[in-house]
Amino acid sequence: MRGTATVFFIGLLTITQSVNAGHGDMEELLVSAKKDTREFALGDTVDIGADSGQLLRKVPGANLNSNGPLTGIAQYRGMYGSRISTHVDGSVLSSGGPNWMDPPLSYAPAAMLESLVVYRGIAPVSAGQETIGGVINATTWSGDFTDGELEISGRMRGGAQSVRDAYLFSGGVVVANDKHRLKVSGFSEAGDDAKFDDGKILPTEYERQRFDIGYGFRHKEHTLQFDYGRNDTGDSGTPALPMDIQYIDSDLFRARYNFHGDQYEVNAKVYYSDIGHGMTNFELRQAPPNGAMWRRNIAEGENIGFSLVADTRGWKFGVDGHREEHESNIDNPNNAMFFVENFNKAERQVIGIFAERQQSLADDWLLELGLRYNNVSMDADVVNGTPAMMMPPAAMLRDNFNAADRSSTDHNIDWVAKVYYQASSAMRLYGGLSRKSRSPSYQEKYLWLPLEATAGLADMRTYTGNLDLEEEVAHEVELGFDWSQNGLSFSPRIYYRDINDYIQGTVSTNMPAIMFVNMMNIMNGTSNAVPLEFNNVDATIYGFDADWRYNINDQWSMDGVLSYVRGERDDINDNLYRISPLNALIALNYNSGKWGATVETRLYDSQNKVSASNTEKTTDSYALLNLKAYWNVSNSIKLGLSVENITDEDYSDHLGGYNRVRGNPDIAVGSRLPGYGRNFSARVDYHW
């Protein structure tokens, strides 16, 4: 299975080289040898919960903004949300919900993930369309062609977790010969509210089912693959957001074609997804006492896209397109009259074209140059809502929005220049420069009424969009080296990124928006702060990160990750919001092949560099201790056991948000959500 993950890997194979080759079969830290990406092969990871995004905490520079058990939003070097380009089996998925309750990675659940690849630092222009913050590629399990004979193979997994009485059951069957491959797979998982030292985090229950079917056909150099997936997420909590998930029903289609010739390779794909999503503030959490405040939000999202890439092993040329369309409507089951058209046919389309060149200069220099043009067009239809029919400020917001020119087209140029110098067999030096851009999201642009529909920012602030937003443009410089000798490897990077027109919520000066929030406060007895408005500001993000590994002998090894990032506003004296604090991971591993164990500690510093603009609260430092072990009972059966947070440390993840749920005796509203308490997990894998 690891072999498959490597074959499927779609990165810079030509410029990477293996380190730690003698320990390719490591159990736990499966971050692979490729120096410009970090890859997890998921066959063996023992300690992962339902959310694949948790793996990001093992990648230098990466982390996870978590708003609930299934809603992890990838963070990389201080950027997150739509600034990260995420691909699931090659498809781009814009979340169906306006608050990202279904972030892109939620479409590659841990239960079916085969590999997760994170590009290190400046991502190539070929890796995605808008890659200002980085690129993540998730690949799910699809089985293998055989060498000839028809074979039936499969796998089953059962797992359980104590911290929330969770279970997972997954299975898949592949019928394949050397030409045809048919795969059917599915899983079911559910968990109760998670516990921490002082009580329970309400609501953090979840339930999800998924079914996938795929057919592949291979003839000589041609491979064709069709896939369909159905995701059914049921009642699932998101305590950091104003509502919880009632359902996420998604249909995912994709078709891919690959030509693998001697001289060149061609990859083509088309994909489509249809996402239906409902959320409420009265089902999983204590309902608002005032029935007029009950809210339900029904959202629909559609994605359609394609890409065509030719790779001559030196040159890469490609065109790609992605189009998303969103609807979001709010109602109240206690009041049939109440409605808000939150987003009406909010559309965003990106058409891109790129060229990329990898060029060796002499034996020890390698150059990568890339140029991309993206055409980003956006539009949205007119809106209405009961507030606008009853309250003059809301009527003004509606009328201004409806009368304005809501369409826009951005012409965005990205370029990348990277150079690698193999100074010795042990040492490779690296330097990179880039210009990357991102046009606003539909939420940043088209949120007309002050609401918290902000792609999961979860800062407890209401926002309005801004039809005049410009695209963000980041210039970045990155330096580092990869050193590997005598079983010790070390890959540090420093980076500095200057972002013009960084899109950030600033205190609104829009009088109708301010008056609307004031009137709502008076009507409802709430105390919501002055709304924020998405605006273009200037910002800088800089930092360093590294990972290292030391192979003590054939059985024992140590490895670790260190990440530091700073995000600052340049126009005023403030920090950027929801930035991961300085953190480190240190692990000691034993592997005999038959069995193995890892003891690891995760150290997080306090975060005092918080955003005043987002009224962000600080967090304290903490240390977590985890233990995990596996045992290959036979060739087909593997057992995994882990204990996370052994000391039952009481802590708050800085990226975990605030409690929005009333009536929890253990956590006050508005205080930071605690991390989970001690968690025993067990897993059985059976392959045949």
> Shortest distance, CB of residue 132 to Cu ion, whole angstroms?
25
Nearer to Cu ion, 279 or 383 (CB): 279
User: How many CA within 13 A on the CB side of residue 48?
Assistant: 27
Nearer to Cu ion, 99 or 137 (CB): 99
Nearer to Cu ion, 108 or 279 (CB): 279
> Shortest distance, CB of residue 660 to Cu ion, whole angstroms?
13
Nearer to Cu ion, 63 or 454 (CB): 454
Nearer to Cu ion, 124 or 301 (CB): 301
Nearer to Cu ion, 246 or 611 (CB): 246
- By C-alpha distance, which of 675, 243, 161, 208 is closest to 451? 243
> Shortest distance, CB of residue 529 to Cu ion, whole angstroms?
22
Task: List the beta strands (DSSP E) in 380-487.
Answer: 408-422, 427-438, 463-464, 472-485
- By C-alpha distance, which of 345, 340, 414 is closest to 378? 345
Continuous H helices in 467-592 = 511-524
> Shortest distance, CB of residue 355 to Cu ion, whole angstroms?
39
> Shortest distance, CB of residue 95 to Cu ion, whole angstroms?
9
Chain residue whose CB lies nearest Cu ion: 97
Instruction: Give the binding site for Cu ion (CB under 5 A).
Output: 97, 99, 101, 279
Q: Which two tokens stand for residue 638?
A: 């593997």
> Shortest distance, CB of residue 455 to Cu ion, whole angstroms?
11
Residue 390 contacts by C-beta under 8 Å, 6 or more apart in sequence? none
Element (H, E) at 549: strand 532-551
Handedness of CA 510, 516, 519, 524 (dihedral sign): negative
Report the distance separating Cα 650 and Cα 670, nearest Å: 17
Nearer to Cu ion, 151 or 300 (CB): 300
Determine what percent of the chain falls in helix, strand and coil, rounding each to the nearest 5. 10, 55, 35
Question: Cα 368 vs. chain centroid, distance in angstroms?
Answer: 26
Nearer to Cu ion, 457 or 473 (CB): 457
- By C-alpha distance, which of 214, 119, 223 is closest to 175? 214
Burial class (CB in 10 A: 0-12, 13-18, 19+), 525: exposed
> Shortest distance, CB of residue 246 to Cu ion, whole angstroms?
8
Nearer to Cu ion, 11 or 278 (CB): 278
> Shortest distance, CB of residue 277 to Cu ion, whole angstroms?
5
> Shortest distance, CB of residue 297 to Cu ion, whole angstroms?
6
> Shortest distance, CB of residue 457 to Cu ion, whole angstroms?
13
Nearer to Cu ion, 242 or 505 (CB): 242
The one-letter amino acid code at 316 reads K
Q: How far apart are the first and last CA of the chain?
A: 12
Handedness of CA 498, 504, 510, 514 (dihedral sign): negative
Give long-range contacts, CB 8 A cutoff, 24+ apart: 671-676. 672/617, 672/619, 673/201, 673/239, 673/240, 674/196, 674/197, 674/198, 674/201, 674/650, 675/196, 675/622, 675/624, 675/645, 675/649, 675/651, 676/163, 676/164, 676/194, 676/195, 676/196, 676/201, 676/644, 676/645
> Shortest distance, CB of residue 101 to Cu ion, whole angstroms?
4
- Cα→Cα distances 676→196, 197, 625, 626, 651, Å: 5, 8, 13, 13, 8
- Cα→Cα distances 207→114, 232, 236, Å: 21, 8, 6
- Cα→Cα distances 602→11, 79, 545, 546, 588, Å: 29, 21, 15, 15, 12
Nearer to Cu ion, 280 or 489 (CB): 280
> Shortest distance, CB of residue 97 to Cu ion, whole angstroms?
3
Report the distance separating Cα 121 and Cα 630, nearest Å: 32
> Shortest distance, CB of residue 669 to Cu ion, whole angstroms?
20
> Shortest distance, CB of residue 343 to Cu ion, whole angstroms?
12
Nearer to Cu ion, 416 or 447 (CB): 447
Report the distance separating Cα 77 and Cα 31, nearest Å: 18
The one-letter amino acid code at 121 reads G
Nearer to Cu ion, 101 or 673 (CB): 101
Nearer to Cu ion, 458 or 473 (CB): 458
Q: Which two tokens stand for residue 482?
A: 């990869």
